[in-house]
Chains A and B, each alone.
Chain A
Amino acid sequence: MSLWLEKITNVPLFAQGLWRNTIMPQNSQTYNSTDQDDLVILRDVHKSYMMGTQEVHALAGVSLTFRKGSFWAIMGPSGSGKSTMLNLLGCMDRPTSGHYILEGYDVGMLDDDRLSELRLRALGFIFQSFNLIQQLTVQENIELPLYYLGWDAGKSARRARELAEMVGLEQRLTHRPSELSGGQQQRAAIARALANDPSVLLADEPTGNLDSATSVQILETLVDLNSKGKTIIMVTHEPDIAAYARSCLHLRDGIIDRVEGAA
């Protein structure tokens, strides 16, 4: 298990500044964090939805900094804004107000294409329901981010094999997701999320659909990844699972209730 993270990080992916200059607009506002290790910065982030005529404040002013190499659990009762926060962190949505700074960019200012670009280059997602594409094989699923990154077939096939080996699925590359167990599917999803060597790995209840033994395997995988330097933010409502993280953020009614073990 110790070898595989090197394999991931060794792949000479986009030297950060390089793709930033080519892909991102030169004039878009950048934030130079005082600390190089401040990877994700939330400053007074609000997110509200209109429910009919009523405004629902899913996030009502959240300020927090996630440092490089940290492993966060986001906890809170149902409706407290966990998913909303993860969607924002995942650049799937923009804050209504406030600033979310990722990789030096204010995400609220970016258009849809640039959000996609950011998701493609800097983020990896793990979902509760795995979200593998059923029609594609395990290998094709793992290669999906590389396809959008424009890698050629041979190179991305090699990379997919490495990642599958890493999560112990090298024998399952040609299988469809439906032929795998839940744990295997989630491992395939982890391999896919790591394909682009993301700076942040986002997980939304990653063990929600798994039995406890398999859940432990998955969580240990995440812990191992974090110990090799990967930044992970995981939403969960179970304290047992949150215990695997090194820091824990408690949300209540869209605001931070308390923070435990911040690095």
Chain B
Amino acid sequence: MRQWRITRNVSLGIKSLLLHKLRSFLTMLGMVCGVGSVISMLSVGEGASQEAMEQIRKLGSNNIILQSVKMAADENAGQAPMLTPFGLLYEDDERIRQTMPSVRRTVPAKHIPAEGRLGERAMELRVVGTTPEWFDLVSRKMLAGRLMSWRDYNGRAGVCVLTESGARKLLAGKKTIGQAVRIGSNSYEVIGIIQSEQGGGAIATPDRDTDAYIPLNVARERHGDRIERGSRSTMGPGNQIPRDLVELHQIIVEVNSAEDVEDTAAAIKTMLERFHKKADYRIDVPLALLRQAEATKRTFNIVLGSIAGIGLLVGGIGIMNIMLATVTERTREIGIRRAIGAKRRQIVGQFLIETVVLSSVGGLLGALLGPALAWGVETSFGMATVVTPWSIILSLGISVGVGIIFGIYPAIRAANLDPIEALRHE
């Protein structure tokens, strides 16, 4: 019964709004834009944060990534030395693993540019000398074969794991697992193929599409620590190939729990500062990206949210303005209803329902406009946007609220009209 009355009251409200279609539509327009902008702006913030989340998923949220960095100063110091020693040391890896209780494990990696060859086919590979634990920290989908094991490692086996794209280039049309490929001047047996997720962003992913993973001890044994810089075409003066002396290019540190990540990173920094004269390393904390993204999102939500909020406010004031005019216009009707026996609160209800219908229909249209705007932002500015259901629910809720807040004053004014005066109104 009660529900039936509400339905009837709402349908009466809609009917009365339809008497002035253009006016009702123009009144709604404010709400449409307000809600549309709330939804699209929240979608930009959400998009940024989901992008960061995705990046962190690729990097590992409990990980700290240390990289060797060659300092620009060395390069520019007149005649570049033919042998530049820099970067992370085997000792660093040992120290971090053994002295820091919050560290679960570390995965050292050595990067060696080398040519991969199979018959006529060749490609530039990045040989990654690492431990089997690499695959635990940089967890990627395995496509064929198996991963490097401790048995391979301890046996110093000449095995390699290729990425999907590497396998496609090098092994195209051939048997994959068990295939022998040449890397540099050595031969390796392909034992597995995994997916790679090469990605940029604020922190590059540890893996690349051109990686070939081999045991670190094998890499040390066969390639040593002197790494030819670049390819043969970038030969230095005197036809000598410039070389870097680098022990480790990367150490991925896995921390026991996410809470310890930032403290551990600070501790590692202190430790490295003590043992390295120059800052020939870089510390990346993927989790910090998340914090940054969250802070950005918060700021974004506040700033854009207030702009959108002002939009809603303007929409609400527009509705109030029109409703006040409507009340004046319908003074006589109000008088008639009161004379017949309508109570004040029934008059309030009547007008309130009209404003709420106006604002929520405006909100609904805005909920259609919002995703469209988000799509527009995404295609024209290349910003990731994600329209979440809750943002739509939130803005619909807000639009109903705006209807009530800005409708209540005109409605009360209508209800407080003196019935006798109202009936005399022309």
Which residues of A does B touch, CB under 8 Å? 87, 90, 92-93, 112-113, 116-121, 123, 125, 127, 131-135, 144-145, 148-150, 152-153, 192, 196
Contacts and interface: CB of A to CB of B under 8 A. Distances in A.
Nearest to A113: B343
Contacts of B340: 119-120, 125, 144-145, 148, 192
23 contacts: A92-B339, A92-B420, A112-B344, A113-B343, A116-B341, A117-B341, A117-B343, A118-B341, A119-B340, A119-B341, A120-B340, A131-B332, A131-B335, A131-B336, A133-B333, A133-B337, A135-B16, A135-B333, A144-B337, A148-B341, A148-B342, A148-B346, A192-B340
Name the interface size band of chain B: 20 to 34
A38 B197 CA distance: 95
Nearest to A118: B341
B19 A92 contact: no
B5 interface: yes
A40 B246 CA distance: 110
Contact of A116 (B8, B16, B335, B338): B338
Most buried by A among B4, B8, B339, B343: B339
By Cβ-Cβ distance, the 4 closest A-B pairs, closest first, are A120-B341, A119-B341, A116-B343, A131-B336
Interface string B333-372: 1011111111111100000000000000000000000000
Given A135-B19, A150-B5, A153-B8, A116 B423 contact: no
A91 to B, nearest CB: 9
A106 to B, nearest CB: 19
Nearest to B419: A92
Nearest to A189: B336
Nearest to A131: B336
Contacts, number: 60
Given A87-B420, A92-B419, A93-B420, A121 B339 contact: no
B53 to A, nearest CB: 53
A133 B341 contact: no
A116 B338 CA distance: 7
Given A93-B420, A133-B333, A152 B4 contact: yes
Contacts of A152: 4
Contact of B336 (A117, A118, A120, A133): A133
Contacts of A192: 340
A119, A127, A153: residue with the most chain B Cβ atoms closer than 10 Å: A119
Contact of B423 (A127, A132, A196): A127
A111 to B, nearest CB: 10
Contacts of B4: 152
Contacts of A112: 343-344
Contacts of B5: 150
A131 B423 contact: yes
Nearest to B343: A116
Given A127-B423, A152-B4, A119 B344 contact: no
Interface string B405-423: 0000000000000011001
Nearest to B342: A148
Contacts of B342: 116, 120, 148
Given A87-B420, A150-B5, A125 B343 contact: no
Given A87-B420, A93-B420, A131-B332, A125 B344 contact: no
Contacts of B19: 135
A177 to B, nearest CB: 11
A119 B420 CA distance: 13
